[in-house]
Amino acid sequence: MTIKQLRILPPFAIGRLGSASEPMDNYSFEVDANPDDPLGYRRLKAEPTLIVNKNGEIGSERTPTTLEFKRGKKIRPVAPFLEVFAVNEKDQLVPLTAGLLKKHGLTVKDISWQVSVSNRKVVRRTENPDDLVHAEIGFSDHQSHTLKGECNNFIDGASIDFGSVRFIRPNEKFPEIRLRFTPAAGLIYGPDRIKLPPRAKELYPDYYRIPKQRQIYKHDKGWYGFRDAKNETVPPSLYAIEPPAPSWLYNNVAISRGYLDDACDGLVEVHLKVKDRTLSAMARICAAPPAMAPDSLFVRTLADDLEQVIYGPEIAPNEPPAVTVARAQDIVRRAYETVRFMNVAVMNGNDFKGRPALSLDSMPQEEAADTERAIRPVMPAGTVDTHAIMTLHQQAYAALRAGAAPWFLRLLRRPDEAADFTDRGRRKMPALMCGADNNYLALTWRQIDTIKKATLDRPVVKPHTAPANGLTPKNLSAQISYEAKGNPICSRPVTSVANCCPGLEVDFRAVWRRMFRGIELREHDNLVVDLSEDCDEVVERLEDDALRPSDLKGHRLLRVVLGTGDALLMMTPIWGPASSDTEAKISLTTSKNPNGLAALEWSNALARVLPYKGSRLRCDFTAEPAAAHQPFSEHPKNYVSFSCEVRSFFEEDTAVISSELAAPGELTQGLCSPWQNDYRECSCYYWASARPDYVNVDLTAGGLSAGDNWMQRERTKTYVADDYADTRLIMYDELFANWESVLRFQIGGKDDPLDSDARDKKK
């Protein structure tokens, strides 16, 4: 057998932060495990867990009897394994093992690793390259190597511990070549010196004091006290700020506390010296918050977006109807798995116990703030109750399982309708949640096409998932969903949310910025923020008297014209209801957005561009720099055209997101710094089944739902609505100091009974 190439699988592995010394056991989940409970929560199933002993070998494998997400008050990190595969002469992927190496006259010592991870969250805000926190290490032994994140703006000798990597020593029972990434503890770092806010002891007695050993950022280097970013993120000010917080309640004043976290993302490379050449392979890793509701999936995940990248926005006409229907049913199931964690009445924009909806956080409230229109509930206020809405979703699911073709295609929001704030638009599905464009969430085009095809196909009696096509070098989807031995399901993209505004595990918007060679767009809209040094060579002008490509900074990409002639607009109008006519709509404009336009999220907007990798497409940019969104106009013409080469999404012949699209740290740079801050500020209407809202839900004597706010300290079954000030809720500093203890895993929609903190509270 010949080793032609190497691969690392999975090509993208998610580690989950936690400070417990023992990593989380391996687990998966099952749907329909109990035929008498087809609507129940996915059943968590313990799986064989690899136990790595002190000398770096896998000493044993055991399947736990119970799944404990915490040990004491510490969350068990998820430490994924990455396995090395060889592509043989038959183009098969086979595990690379010590034995296979030996057959080729090689040994384990011929293997070396290079790991490069970064945290670029501060750089993203300050645009100061000295704020980059980077760790890089090369090794070939089997020791555990700490990923020390260093930064020019740290005090001497200081670093952030990004976790560790270890080349697992193969042995007879476990001869495969693998690496393990153990993420960090979820700690917060900060400035070496601070000045407490005025009257801090009196007003903010719980102000978090970072332990001395983590006071590492030079206080005078810009991040501490940073404010008013020139190149703002969406949402803005995603960082821990000096109280009072959040900023939008206090005149949008957001002064950074100078916090950094130990989340990161980057690349793992393996190298194998074979005679006179070196074979290499690469994979990506990231460290993310824990999956707090491990038995539920979000309605749109990173796996959905990656599937669209691989297969395109349209389902293949020859896909067996049984497979399409199974996926359509899965989407509906995930919809009710999501909605059951939302207090729908509050998220709907209802007044709550007499309190005005404007004082509470919801999509209607955001919409009102962004467009300066009066807040109003999305659905009629009297009809929204979590239990009822969830039951309705379950009824729809039941009908689908009976073989009924989906009847709700027209009720699904198209991605280009995300900014339709009329009642008709807002009530489309998925409802009440935020998308990556900061407007109402839409599914991927591919998910929508799944529903459409299931509607039009011949009836199906027994839907089934697609048969496993086998792990081959060409099967990118199989590679992305590969289940490495010992890896819990929460290390896979199917458990990562895709409505990245900014996201939880990664900010997937970041990968699209450099889709056109030579040009860098902002991750959340169509503004050109940077150009490569060779952009005048790689971007072609299509008009003689037009700008040079290198002049495009500050301009906006208006549309892309495909080879078919179809034009993809990058913006969509913002519609709202006309005040005087319930059957009419108006364009919603503001002084900052005089044209009433919203940027489309890239994952859907550029989905049809990807097949043109390596080819050129016409891209129309604004003829002038544009601070505000501009519409595309032919008469008068307001654009200039360039021919831009489309980059490949993946590294060639692999399922690894191209390094040209995202350097280490860039997949997480848009996330909150520290991420704990986001658990306070980004409400559940972003990712309800990952950052729940409504937990321990039961029925009252009135037939309505009652439960707790996931963020409320005392579980009273009386929901505490989030106004960002209610002290019954976990606040920022408590999260910074004690997130592992105060955040509770949800199992079956209830606080994990094995959570010692939950037990203590009950006492």
- Total residues binding another protein (CB under 8 A): 62
Query: Considering beta carbons, is residue 264 or 357 the nearer one to another protein?
Result: 357
- For the bound state, the minimum distance from the C-beta of residue 90 to another protein, rounded and expressed in Å, comes to 38
Task: Give the span between the Cα atoms of 540 and 532, in whole angstroms.
Answer: 14
- For the bound state, the minimum distance from the C-beta of residue 456 to another protein, rounded and expressed in Å, comes to 6
Query: Considering beta carbons, is residue 419 or 521 the nearer one to another protein?
Result: 419
Query: Considering beta carbons, is residue 62 or 424 the nearer one to another protein?
Result: 424
- For the bound state, the minimum distance from the C-beta of residue 351 to another protein, rounded and expressed in Å, comes to 7
Q: Does 382 bind another protein (CB under 8 A)?
A: yes
Task: Give the span between the Cα atoms of 568 and 697, in whole angstroms.
Answer: 44
- For the bound state, the minimum distance from the C-beta of residue 567 to another protein, rounded and expressed in Å, comes to 19
Among residues 2, 19, 12, 15, which one has the least CA distance to residue 739?
Answer: 19
Task: Give the span between the Cα atoms of 686 and 497, in whole angstroms.
Answer: 9
Q: Which stretch binds another protein (CB under 8 A): 127-135, 201-209, 359-367, 573-581?
A: 573-581
Query: Considering beta carbons, is residue 443 or 501 the nearer one to another protein?
Result: 443
Among residues 667, 601, 557, 687, which one has the least CA distance to residue 234?
Answer: 601
Binders of another protein among residues 456 to 475 (CB under 8 A) are 456, 458-459, 461-462
Q: Does 143 bind another protein (CB under 8 A)?
A: no
Name 386's Cβ contacts closer than 8 Å, sequence gap at least 6: 339, 340, 342, 343, 344, 345, 694, 697, 705, 707
Name 620's Cβ contacts closer than 8 Å, sequence gap at least 6: 557, 558, 559, 560, 561, 632, 639, 640, 641, 642
Task: Give the span between the Cα atoms of 202 and 473, in whole angstroms.
Answer: 62
Query: Considering beta carbons, is residue 345 or 506 the nearer one to another protein?
Result: 345
Amino acid at 462: K
- For the bound state, the minimum distance from the C-beta of residue 376 to another protein, rounded and expressed in Å, comes to 11
- For the bound state, the minimum distance from the C-beta of residue 318 to another protein, rounded and expressed in Å, comes to 12
Query: Considering beta carbons, is residue 252 or 587 the nearer one to another protein?
Result: 587
Element (H, E) at 619: strand 616-622
Q: Does 383 bind another protein (CB under 8 A)?
A: yes
Q: Phi first, then psi: give them for residue 261, nearest 5 degrees.
A: -120, 175
Query: Considering beta carbons, is residue 25 or 449 the nearer one to another protein?
Result: 449
Query: Considering beta carbons, is residue 586 or 742 the nearer one to another protein?
Result: 586
Among residues 356, 425, 411, 363, which one has the least CA distance to residue 577?
Answer: 425
Both tokens of residue 192? 């070496």
Q: Print the binding letters for residues 616-655 with another protein: x by CB under 8 A, - otherwise.
A: ----------------------------------------
Rule CB under 8 A: choose which of 1, 21, 30, 37 binds another protein: 37
- For the bound state, the minimum distance from the C-beta of residue 457 to another protein, rounded and expressed in Å, comes to 8
Q: Which stretch binds another protein (CB under 8 A): 183-191, 522-530, 585-593, 721-729?
A: 585-593
Binders of another protein among residues 405 to 444 (CB under 8 A) are 405, 407-408, 410-411, 422-424, 427
Binders of another protein among residues 344 to 363 (CB under 8 A) are 345, 350-351
Q: What are the Cα distances from residue 570, in Å, to 258, 351, 443, 453, 636?
A: 35, 35, 17, 26, 19
Q: Which stretch binds another protein (CB under 8 A): 7-15, 30-38, 224-232, 308-316?
A: 30-38
Question: Which ranges of 312-468 does DSSP label H, i.e. alpha helix?
Answer: 321-339, 344-347, 363-371, 386-401, 423-426, 445-456
| Residue matched to tokens 């959340």 | 524
DSSP 256: B
Task: Give the span between the Cα atoms of 107 and 101, in whole angstroms.
Answer: 6
Q: Print the binding letters for residues 530-569 with another protein: x by CB under 8 A, - otherwise.
A: ----------------------------------------
Binders of another protein among residues 387 to 406 (CB under 8 A) are 387-389, 391-392, 394-399, 401-405
Query: Considering beta carbons, is residue 387 or 492 the nearer one to another protein?
Result: 387
Cα angle 554, 532, 638 (rounded to 5 degrees) comes to 35
Task: Give the span between the Cα atoms of 244 and 210, in whole angstroms.
Answer: 18
8 A C-beta contact, residue 144 and residue 79: no
Q: Does 35 bind another protein (CB under 8 A)?
A: yes
Rule CB under 8 A: choose which of 202, 703, 714, 727 binds another protein: 703
Query: Considering beta carbons, is residue 386 or 479 the nearer one to another protein?
Result: 386
Task: Give the span between the Cα atoms of 589 and 223, in whole angstroms.
Answer: 34
8 A C-beta contact, residue 498 and residue 300: yes
- For the bound state, the minimum distance from the C-beta of residue 241 to another protein, rounded and expressed in Å, comes to 35
Q: Which stretch binds another protein (CB under 8 A): 81-89, 199-207, 375-383, 729-737?
A: 375-383
Task: Give the span between the Cα atoms of 134 and 74, in whole angstroms.
Answer: 26
Adjacent-strand bridge partners of 95 = 85
CA contacts within 13 A on the Cβ side of 744? 29
Q: Which stretch binds another protein (CB under 8 A): 78-86, 254-262, 376-384, 607-615?
A: 376-384
Q: Does 700 bind another protein (CB under 8 A)?
A: yes
Residues interacting with another protein, by CB under 8 A?
35-40, 345, 350-351, 379-385, 387-389, 391-392, 394-399, 401-405, 407-408, 410-411, 422-424, 427, 455-456, 458-459, 461-462, 575, 577-578, 580-581, 583-587, 699-704
